[in-house]
Structure formats: structure tokens, C-alpha cells
Amino acid sequence: MRRAKVVGTGMYVPERVVTNHDLEKLMETTDEWIQKRSGIKERRFAADWETPADMAKVAALRALADAGLAISDIDCIVLATLSPQHEFPGTSFFLHELLDAPEIPCFDLRAQCTGFLYSLATANSFVRSGQFDRVLVMGVEIHSMGIELTTRGRDVAVLFGDGAAGVILEASEGGAEDPGVIEVRLHAEGKHARKLWIEAPGCALKPTRVTAEMIADGRIYPKMDGKFVFKNAVTRMPEVLHETLSAASKKLEDVDLFLFHQANLRINEYVANALGIPAEKCLNNIERYGNCSAASIPLLLAEARESGLAKPGSLVAMAAFGSGFSWGCGLLRL
Ligand code: COA
């Protein structure tokens, strides 16, 4: 059976560390509030010169080096982001330029914090169908430029950070227990799109997409109904995890590592407790990086492989919930 297996992972986070104490200087907040509510201690912010494509390039080159491949070996680039480099074209095209890629297709995928899993599912289908042999799947975010670093925006601003990470999927022949993506289940509920969103600029805002008044009112910054998001996340993540495991005829106990989206440590602790997952099987890096949306899960995966926690043969379950609402779960054997 044709499968898509992970042959390389790579990550990059900017050098600049922004602690909760640094945020205390910009808005009315406290290290204690942030840690208690979210588990976050610090996050990274991109340098002035750094673009999303610059960050994705470093992560992609590391993934290629890890796989022992060159960009000329890649057949397609799928890049998930909610903080694009420009309105259009997608960030993937600027990454394509920086990687000096041959004339392979690339595109951006917009599924917010579930973006990496949507991209993984897409790449998996490309490989399994035989359309491509190797796909580079990236998640990258520069949130620091899109959040309101003032008291008005504090409920959202303290949660997010910048980062980039990705994986390379390669075609292989094997059975159900061999390395490869086993199952990816995806869901959405668009009726809650406005519960976590950035409204402007947008083509729904006629006639000019954005006005000076909208900017002054902060409608260009993310708005979130935090409690509603929390409640949905802790329901949907276990639901989709069960659905995915059951589709793969696996049990929770079979999973070696759980990589949950890094929105809030409390969400992940709640989910792990509810499912009876031992803490050591549940990796988190939110305390160091905050929520890096589409980059969060591949950051975890890259760190887990680098540290040796994820080994060849490990069964890894990844689950995410985010704006859209969107949610999903991916199961893979390394
Ligand atoms: N620092 C200090 N106080 C803050 C604050 C901050 N950064 N942000 C909000 N507050 C205040 C609020 O104004 C509120 O004050 P009030 O009681 O005087 O009105 C108080 O803290 C409590 O706010 P509340 O919204 O009830 O907090 P909460 O316990 O719901 O926690 C979140 C807020 C955002 C941490 C939590 O709702 C959450 O994690 N939601 C999910 C977020 C998420 O997953 N987002 C991304 C999905 S991809």
C-alpha cells in the first residue's frame, strides 16, 4: 500500500524572547495572570527584518537537511498560516522564491490553528494518490505584528507568539503498521467563525475593505470569546481524537506521544485528565513559545524528534482546535 511517511522535520523560532514581565510594561497584565490562565511564561517575537517566509525558509532547510534532501527533490509545498506575508500571493510563494525552488506548485492553506493538520491531510492525499512523491508541509506565523499589545487587546495578545516548523512527507510502500500517516480527521463549524476572528480588512467591508475608523476601533486585531473557545476546544479535541483512533482501530493506550495544539496549557491539561492520558505522554512547549497557531504542532513534532522523545516507530497523535471553528486529529507512525 502506498503511504506518506515523515522523513524530515525542522523548526525555527526567532531569537527575541518576550517574557510576561516584558508584556507588563506594555499593558495592564501580570506574569501571574498569564501563567495561571494559560501556562505561558514567554514567547518569541520576530525581528524587524524577519518575514514569515524568512522564518519558514530556515525551518524548511532544517527539515530538508534532516531528510537528507534538497529542494529539487520536493514536488509541492503546502503552507499553513493565518498571518500572511502580504494579501496575495500566499506566503508559500515567497518561501518558494527564498528556497530557489524549481517550478513546483505551492499554495497557502487557511485553517488557522488547525492549519497544519489540514495541510498534513492534503499532503497525505497528494502522496497516497500518486500525484506527488514528496511534499513539504509548513506552518508559520508572525503573530507579534497582528496583535494589539495594549490593555484593550490583552486577553488575546498575551497568548500568541511567532514560529515556523514543517515536515517532509515522502511516498513509501508498507502496511498499516509501517511508518506513515495513518489517519487524519478534520471538522469545521463555520457558524462560530466570529467567535475568534480578525474582521478587517476584508471584502465584506464595502466599499473600502478597511477604514481609519475600523483601525482606530481595533477591528484589525483578533477578537475572541475566550470562554466559548475554551469550552468548545475541550469538547472537540477528545471527540476527534476518539474518532481518529477508532477509524485506525487503535486505543488511547497505543499512542506513544500526544501533540496537542498549544492554545492554552489549561485546555491540554483538561483534555489529558479527561482522557486519562499520563502527563509524560503529552508534550507541551506553550510555556516557551505561546500559541504559534499553524506552527505549534510541527514545532512540537520537531522538538520531540530532536530530543529523542519521538523515535522511529513511535505512534504520534496530534489534535488541534481553532478559529473557524476548525478542529482535527492526525495519527502517524514515525
Ligand atoms: N491580564 C490581566 N487580566 C486580563 C487579561 C490579561 N492579559 N486578559 C483579560 N483579563 C481580565 C478580563 O478583563 C477579566 O476581567 P473582569 O473580571 O474584571 O472582567 C478577567 O481577566 C477574567 O477574564 P476571563 O475572560 O474570565 O478569563 P478566563 O478565565 O476565561 O481566561 C483565556 C481567558 C483567554 C485565557 C481563556 O478564556 C482561554 O484560554 N480561552 C481559550 C483561548 C484559546 O484557546 N484561543 C486560541 C484558540 S486557537
Percentage of residues of the chain with pLDDT beyond 90: 100
Confidence of residue 134 (pLDDT cuts 50, 70, 90): very high
pLDDT at residue 23, rounded to an integer: 98
**Closest C-alpha among 219, 334, 264 to residue 38:** 264
**Distance in angstroms (rounded) separating the CA atoms of residues 234 and 187:** 15
Question: Does the global pTM surpass 0.85?
Answer: yes
pLDDT at residue 135, rounded to an integer: 99
pLDDT in tens, 255-294: 999 999 999 999 999 999 999 999 999 999 999 999 999 9
Q: How far is the CA of 227 from the centre of ligand 1 (A)?
A: 8
For residue 206, give every residue at least 6 positions away whose Cβ sits within 8 Å of its Cβ, in sequence order, or none: none
DSSP state, residue 149: -
Q: Is the CB of 197 under 6 A from ligand 1?
A: no
Confidence of residue 44 (pLDDT cuts 50, 70, 90): very high
User: Both 103 and 242 in a single domain?
Assistant: no
pLDDT at residue 241, rounded to an integer: 98
Atom of ligand 1 nearest to the CA of 38: 35
Residue whose cell numbers read 497557502: 108
Domain boundary among 140, 173, 206: 173
Per-residue pLDDT, averaged over 144-169, amounts to 98
> What's the structural domain count of the chain?
2
E-assigned strands of the chain? 2-12, 16-19, 42-45, 76-80, 106-109, 134-141, 163-173, 180-188, 196-197, 223-224, 257-260, 282-283, 315-322, 326-333
Measured from the Cβ of residue 277, the count of other Cβ atoms closer than 10 Å reads 21
pLDDT in tens, 186-242: 999 999 999 999 999 999 999 999 999 999 999 999 999 999 999 999 999 999 999
Q: Is the CB of 316 under 6 A from ligand 1?
A: no
Q: Is the CB of 322 under 6 A from ligand 1?
A: yes
**Do residues 30 and 40 lie in contact, with contact meaning Cβ atoms separated by under 8 Å?**
no
Question: Pseudo-torsion of CA 262, 263, 269, 275, nearest 10°?
Answer: -80
pLDDT in tens, 16-27: 999 999 999 999
Parent domain of 21: 2-173
The per-residue pLDDT of the chain, averaged, comes to: 98
Q: How far is the CA of 40 from the centre of ligand 1 (A)?
A: 13
Q: Is the CB of 158 under 6 A from ligand 1?
A: yes
Assigned domain for 202 exists: no
pLDDT in tens, 290-332: 999 999 999 999 999 999 999 999 999 999 999 999 999 999 9
For residue 161, give every residue at least 6 positions away whose Cβ sits within 8 Å of its Cβ, in sequence order, or none: 13, 18, 43, 44, 45, 143, 144, 289, 290, 291, 292
User: Both 151 and 254 in a single domain?
Assistant: no
Annotated catalytic residues are 113, 261, 291
The enclosing domain of 315 has a CATH number of 3.40.47.10
CA atoms within 13 A on the CB side of 310: 27
Q: How far is the CA of 294 from the centre of ligand 1 (A)?
A: 22
